[in-house]
Structures are given as structure tokens and as C-alpha cells.
Structure 1
Amino acid sequence: MTLFIRRILSSIVVGLVLALPAQAFDTGAKAAFVFDMTTGTVLLDKNADTPMPPASMSKLMTLYVAFEAIRDGRLSLEERLPVSRHAMSYAGSTMFLDTTDRVKVEDLLRGIIVLSGNDACAVIAEALSPDGSEAGFAAFMTQRAQQMGMTNSTFKNSNGWPAAGHEMSMRDLALLARHIITDFPNFYPMFSETEFQFDGRAPRNSQNRNPLLSLGVGADGLKTGHTQQAGYGLTGSAKQGDRRVVFVLSGLESAQARAREAEAIVNWSFRQFAQKSVVKAGEEVARAPIWMGEADSVGLTPAEDVSTLMPVLGGGTLKAEVVFTGPVRAPVKKGDKIAELVFAPEGLPQTRVPLVASEDVAKGGFTARLRTVSGLLLTRLQQGPEGAL
């Protein structure tokens, strides 16, 4: 892509003019978020930061905490956990567990992922809770979510059973899905399993509710959700070629509407956009002015290759801006994060990419300080009487 730079005060505009805007997806969901993991491009944001009842999609957080416990050796797949009266009391989607059962952790995980077992979540929760209660586990889930950057998530139970204050945003669910995919690739294939028969029980409840798994669109996860209050929702992911898309929908009126909307979003995400390179790692995008340094400016570059999605009918350019607080005070070390590259194909939400210093700039000595003060005096004098000393 062709790059040109125009200085505006302490920011830099990097211009790449877009020919055609992206055609927006008109979703019937109350809230939605669509994110291309490969490029970091946000394709759709509708009420994505509004906390809402997530229903069974919140089970993804229980699963993430369980995966961490297995990874850290605090829980094992072959370990058998007891079923309490509290866990057995859950209705809705269940594994039909009772207090005579001791269930392998691996079966409980599949019971949550494939069968959406409310009881299975409670068994895991009580085993990992700091105080042995589901409420204690929910408090731990909330704390862990905050640590992971899910600032619009609060849990009151382990499974999404309707409860006042039990909420997640669509962006938080997408972030959680991304963490599951990237942090636990050994467990992620479970999410594409279409059926699970636990101990020969309840064959009517053995099918995965994810409507996309059998459609051949690359879908391989993650979790559906439904309550009367939340409506029908889905946190999903699909991979085609080198690209992976994560999407979250909530507030649809029926399972059929959820299936149609999810398939349409996957097709739109892959068919209407093509991946384009923006700038390579180490390639200088702009230079930021330096205050009191041995050099007057420092190069700004991304630490990794940056690409984005462009509409297939659009041109090969887009508008971008380098944003930073400047001038930057010396000393500066190579690799210091100084700025952000902000860009958005017309019709799509912004993407923000960190930019780092391309070289060291030491703090200047007397000559550098004199040059800086002289430059400041000259600038004020050029401003006229109001800017003169």
C-alpha cells in the first residue's frame, strides 16, 4: 500500500484512501460482535460493550477456569468428582447427574460443552471454589475475568442460570473465546464434537446445539445460550483457510433465527472481505518528535506485521492515523511503546495497533537542551505578540 504522511500538531496522519465502504451487516440480534482473529479487525459492533444476561454462554468462563486448573495440575482429566444435592437440583439442560455419581472431569467437560449441563458446571464449580460453594466459584470467576480484561462481566453462578446481576458483554465473550482457542488448543477440539453420550443416559439430550457444526462453513465452536430473559445467543468461531472469525450474538427470538443469523454472519465475514497487508514489522510508519534528546525524532514501527480486512469490492488503500502524546520525552529505548496506528476501512469499527520506537534515543546534553529551548523561543516569537515572551 502507498504511504504518505501529514503532520498535525503532535499526531501524524498516515493516508491511504479507501475506494468503497464495507457493506454493513444488518443483524437482528440485540447485541453482536464479530472479530477477525487473524488480522485483529472488528467487523461488527452492535451494543458490544453493554452487559447482558449471557445464559449458557457464560459456561465458557467455567470451562476456561477448569482448563487452567488442569494445566496447572490442580485438577486431572481422570479425577472423579462427587455430585452434591445443589448440583443435582439444577433443571434445564443437564447430564441428569445425582448424588450417587462420581464423574470423571473429562466427562464433565464434554457434558458442559456438548450437552450444556448445568449440573456439570456446578460440580466443577464446587470442586474448584475457594470455599467449596458455587457462589464462591462465581466470585472467583468474576475476579479472573477482570484480570483477563473482561471488565463488563459479573458472575453469580457457574452456568448462566437466570440471576440478578449475572451479565457479560458481547466483546467480553469474544475475548474469552479467543483465549480458549489460543490458550488451550489441546481442549478446543472438544467444541466441535457434535454428540456425547454420557453413561448411556438421556439420548434425547446427546446432540450439540451449535447449529453451524454440520454445515461445512468451517465452524468448530463454541457455545449456545438461551433463557427467556436473554433470548437465543451463540458465541461461535469458524476457520476458512488462514482466517479465523469469532462472533457473538445475543437476544434473537428463536433457535431458527439464531441458526440463520449465525450462518449469514460467517458467510458475510469470509465472502465480503479479503486480507490485505498494511505495514510490515520493523517498517517505519512515521517519526515522532523528541523532547530534550540527542536526536530530534524517533522512528515509529509495528512490532509485528499488520494486516486488515478490506471489502472485496473496495480499493487497496485506507485512511490511518498515528496517535501519540508528544513530543516524546527522552530517553527512549528501542521497542518502547510510543504510539498507536489507528485505521478503519470505511463502514467498519476502528483497529488500533501499538507502534514502538525503532531505535534508542538518549537524553541530550547541554547542546540538545539549548537547541530545544531555542526552538521553543523561535516558535513563540513566530506566533506574534500573543505568543511572544
Structure 2
Amino acid sequence: MNITTFAKRLCLLVPLLTAPAAWAADVAQMVPAPPQLAAKAYVLMEANSGQVLVESNSDERLPPASLTKLMSAYIATLEIRRGQIKETDMVNVSENAWRTGGSRMFIKVGSQVSVSDLLHGIIIQSGNDATVALAEHIAGSEDAFADMMNAQAQKLGMVNSHFMNPTGLPDPEHYSSAHDIGLLARAIIHEDPAHYAIYSQKEFFWNGIKQPNRNLLLWRDKTVDGLKTGHTDAAGYCMAASAVRDGMRLIAVVFGTTSDQARAAETQKLLTYGFRFYETQTFYKSGTELAKASVWKGTSSEVKAGLAEDLTMTLPRGQLKNLQASMTLNPQLTAPIEKGQVIGKVEVKNGDKVVETKDLVAIEAVDEGGIFRRIWDSIRLFFYGLFN
């Protein structure tokens, strides 16, 4: 498939997968400005790509309160998946964990609580005592666990975050940002769907005490399935929430509202705006063959080319039909070619503006050819260079 064919194929595909052109064009003209929230900072993110749709002060470093526990829970589930701990492990509750102030699961000093119960107590009840107990079980101390949190934040690209404790209790050097919390939420959602299901539970009953999830949107919007709230005097009322409608998942993060009702209402405004005025479409899946590229000096004269990542776009409604794509392949590919090796790119434009670029990679390996093949292709390349 040559470049022109690929471009035509994509452009023909788009109108078939979006709304009728006349209706879509009208909607595109009607997209209003995003809502201005009564919050210190916020972000609305498309969960699949991480594309930011709406933001205000989203990179400002602010106290995250109990949104910190998203990282604590994330690390705990990582340790479970790595086999370092098990959900059935019993955790000794230290006096340090028991004495931790703020919201509580009400575990007792000297008792043993399972990792699974503590994880539920962290996510649903926002228990500071449960968080410290699990952090000590994983790392030995809160300080050591904070080091793990900061290392993981760096891996996730959370450049405006620094953690001093696993709970979010106030500390001048403990901060994060709306955008960073959005990145963390993406990781939680995509990497471990089984544990992410805990975030949608409305209540948790433990040791004779039933506590509700503080995420009011779980009751108000059936499409919301997570994530967490937070509050301190310094941070105000914060929330990270995610919802799915018609196959599109959005993440909304709000910092610094004035009440639990306000954080739910402001977060709902972001989600409503995003779902009403944006749409997402996946045009090609990773690993799908899009073209064949010529290969010199290999066991095969061609290699299949595809995308390293899904080609997914989120745009204001009605604009997806305007997309056009072009594909370029490296002109002289010489074996050996490794699977996953970048051999070109796909560029998507909306008019004259480039809106997305994706690597085009080899979706199969091509070994180096025999001596005669290599000699023959060397001769061909010599004359090819003379006349091109």
C-alpha cells in the first residue's frame, strides 16, 4: 500500500465511523468554551491517550490530601502483581499506624489485618491507619515507602509530584498536581482492571463498622466507576473521577474546592462537558498491517509495517471527519530488521495542522539474507544510488 492509498483509506474510514457530515459540522460550530470551575486547579483527560481536553493550572504544585492514597494503593497492587506480597498476607498493625490521625479504618494496635482488607480500607474508607499499616508492611517504614512513591512517580512522568508520606497528611514538601494525578489514574485504570474495580464500591463493612465511599458521583452518575476524594484544610476538597460513556473513558481531577458537594458538582461539570462535546475514535489497532516496506539484503524482500500504539483520536464532535493521514517509510531498510523497529511514521492532519504522529514499526522480524543475496542487493543499491 503506497502513501496515497493509505491516506485515502483512512479518510474514507473516518466518515463511516462518525456522525453524518451535515449534523457533525453543525455540532462542531456549536462547541462552547469549557466550564470555568470554582477550584484551584483541574484537568479533563481522555484516558486512553492521556490527551488533555480541558485544564486550568493543571501543573501547579498543590497539596493533594488523600489523593495521595492513589499512589499508595497503586504501589500495593504493583507489589501484589509482582508476587512480593499476597492479598491473603496478614499485616501487623503497629502503634504508629494506629495513632495516625485523620480519616480511619479503625484497625486496632497489635491486631492483624489482611492486605486485601487494608487495600479496601485505603480506597473506599480512605483510612490513614490502613495506609500506614500497609506501607510499613511493604517497605518497613513510611519514609522508605515514600521513596518508593517518588520513584514510581518519576516512572509515570509525574514531574510535579513529591511525596513525604503515604497518606497525604500536610507537609510543606508533599505536593502533586491535577495533571500528575490524572497520569496516575490512567495507570491505575489500565494496568490492573481487577483491582480498579474496588474504586467503584460504594461502601466497605469491616470490624462491625460500615463506611461509605466519599465519592458522591458513584451515587449520582452510573457511568462513574472511580476513583478517590481528598480533603485537608490546606488542600481544600479534591477529587479524581473517571467515567465511561459510549466507549470513551474520561478522567477528571479537581483540586481545591470548598466542600464535598462542590467537588462533586465541579467534577461532574468537567465530565458532562467532555462527553457532550468530544468524541473518540480508534482508527487502527497496534500490530495491524498497514503496508509492506521493501527490505534489502534480507531473507525476505518485504516487511509488514504497522503501528506501535493504537491510533486513537479525541476531537470536538464533528471534526473527526476532517482528518487526513499520510504514511512515510524509511527509503532504504537493510536487514536484519527487528520486530518493533521503527521504520516510518504516520502523520494525521486536521486541515494544515498536525494533530497526531505515530511511529510505524516492523510487526515481524526479517533476518539477514545469505551471502549471494547480500552481494546482489549491494550491486542493486549501488545503481539505485546512481540514478536516484
Shorter-chain TM-score: what band?
A: 0.7 to 0.9
CA distance, structure 1, for counterparts of residue 161 and residue 350 of structure 2: 29
CA distance, structure 2, for counterparts of residue 315 and residue 64 of structure 1: 34
**Aligned-residue offset at 1:345:** 6.5
Change (3 A) 1:83 1:350: farther
**Aligned-residue offset at 1:218:** 0.8
Matched with 2:8 is: none
**Aligned-residue offset at 1:121:** 0.7
Matched with 1:193 is: 201
CA contact under 8 A between 1:27 and 1:261: conserved in structure 2? no
Matched with 1:387 is: none
CA deviations over 1:352-377 (Å, ceiling 9, x no partner)? 533225786989625525644775xx
CA contact under 8 A between 2:94 and 2:110: conserved in structure 1? no
Match of 1:282 among 279, 289, 307: 289
Between 133-142 and 245-254, the greater mean CA deviation after superposition:
245-254
**Structure with the higher fraction of residues in helix conformation:** 2
CA contact under 8 A between 2:63 and 2:234: conserved in structure 1? yes
CA distance, structure 1, for counterparts of residue 326 and residue 367 of structure 2: 23
Output the amino acid matched with 1:214.
Answer: W
Between 355-364 and 133-142, the greater mean CA deviation after superposition:
355-364
Output the amino acid matched with 1:266.
Answer: L
Give the 5 Å matches for 1:343-382. 343=348, 351-357=356-362, 365=378, 367-369=380-382, 371-372=384-385
Give the 5 Å matches for 1:262-277. 262-277=267-282
Match of 1:101 among 97, 106, 111: 111
Change (3 A) 1:157 1:339: farther
Matched with 1:179 is: 187
**Aligned-residue offset at 1:144:** 2.6
Change (3 A) 1:80 1:318: same
CA contact under 8 A between 2:142 and 2:165: conserved in structure 1? yes
**Aligned-residue offset at 1:163:** 1.3
Matched with 1:65 is: 75
Matched with 2:126 is: 116
Change (3 A) 1:339 1:87: farther
**Aligned-residue offset at 1:116:** 0.7
Output the amino acid matched with 2:179.
Answer: R
Output the amino acid matched with 2:86.
Answer: S
Between 19-28 and 177-186, the greater mean CA deviation after superposition:
19-28
CA distance, structure 1, for counterparts of residue 4 and residue 385 of structure 2: 27
Change (3 A) 1:61 1:147: same
Matched with 2:341 is: 336
Give me the CA root mean square deviation.
4.0
Q: Percent identity?
A: 34
CA contact under 8 A between 1:42 and 1:350: conserved in structure 2? no
CA contact under 8 A between 1:298 and 1:361: conserved in structure 2? no
CA distance, structure 1, for counterparts of residue 190 and residue 282 of structure 2: 22
SS at the partner of 1:265?
helix
Matched with 1:26 is: 35
**Aligned-residue offset at 1:157:** 0.5
Output the amino acid matched with 2:92.
Answer: P
**Aligned-residue offset at 1:166:** 1.7
TM normalised by structure 1 equals 0.75
CA deviations over 1:326-361 (Å, ceiling 9, x no partner)? 877755556422455455879x99555332257869
Between 60-69 and 352-361, the greater mean CA deviation after superposition:
352-361
TM normalised by structure 2 equals 0.75
Output the amino acid matched with 2:312.
Answer: S
CA distance, structure 2, for counterparts of residue 321 and residue 164 of structure 1: 49
Output the amino acid matched with 2:76.
Answer: A
Between 222-231 and 273-282, the greater mean CA deviation after superposition:
273-282
| 2:253 is the counterpart of 1:248 | yes
Runs of 5+ unmatched residues, structure 1:
6-13, 376-389
SS at the partner of 1:108?
helix
Change (3 A) 1:105 1:272: same
Change (3 A) 1:122 1:304: closer
